[in-house]
Copies of this chain bind each other. A is one copy, B any other.
């Protein structure tokens, strides 16, 4: 076919991991390019995402797409096997609603309200899961992929910061979902190692703390 598919990402980013998970679910081959997002963005990244200058960017036959949820929809519309979004328009709308909710709470919550917002996010999602195995039903779908941050990143972040928000006691359904989600082979093989995430957040926290101490 001569198809060319490139993904610009960062190893520890839940946003670029979403894209990798989706491409693996679809069974599509791609080339992965690691970006040094903090110190040295590549000229290609700036060319392909001039508006936000952020990862992830998927480039399909030379045409770039940015914004992880937009990319996920593109992947689902371009490769039809193993659908990520449900077929039914109402169920699709619900999946988009929850995915948007997760991203808004995850990305835009200001620092001082982070704990409160996190609890609200988790308890709303706990209610939404009800008796379902995955947000998508019996198989992993759009909302599960978007929520992978909760299943895999929240744990090490909690450990680094020393708080407990997502525990089996407080959110039994969500806790069980997180375990099930990480057990799926296609997910398990496409998440960064837990200890690397933990080390990353510990280092960042230390940096923040020491710069604070230096100021005091």
Contact = CB atoms under 8 A, between A and B. Distances in A.
Which of A71, A89, A124 has the largest number of chain B CB atoms within 10 A?
A89
Interface in A103-118: 108
User: Top 8 A-B pairs ranked by shortest CB distance?
Assistant: A77-B89, A74-B93, A70-B96, A65-B93, A78-B89, A70-B97, A70-B93, A74-B89
Interface string A62-90: 01011101110110011000000000011
Contacts of A70: 93, 96-97, 100
A76 to B, nearest CB: 9
Given A63-B90, A65-B90, A74-B90, 12 more contacts: A65-B93, A67-B96, A67-B100, A69-B100, A70-B93, A70-B96, A70-B100, A73-B93, A74-B89, A74-B93, A77-B92, A108-B108
A71 B92 CA distance: 10
A60 interface: yes
A32 interface: no
A43 interface: no
A92 B124 CA distance: 30
A78 B93 CA distance: 11
A54 to B, nearest CB: 12
B108 A93 contact: no
A96 B97 CA distance: 14
Contacts of A51: 101, 124
Contact of A73 (B65, B66, B92, B108): B92
19 contacts: A51-B101, A65-B94, A65-B97, A66-B97, A67-B97, A67-B100, A69-B96, A69-B100, A70-B93, A70-B96, A70-B97, A70-B100, A73-B92, A73-B96, A74-B89, A74-B92, A74-B93, A78-B89, A108-B108
Contacts of A73: 92-93, 96
A60 B94 CA distance: 13
A133 to B, nearest CB: 22
Nearest to A65: B93
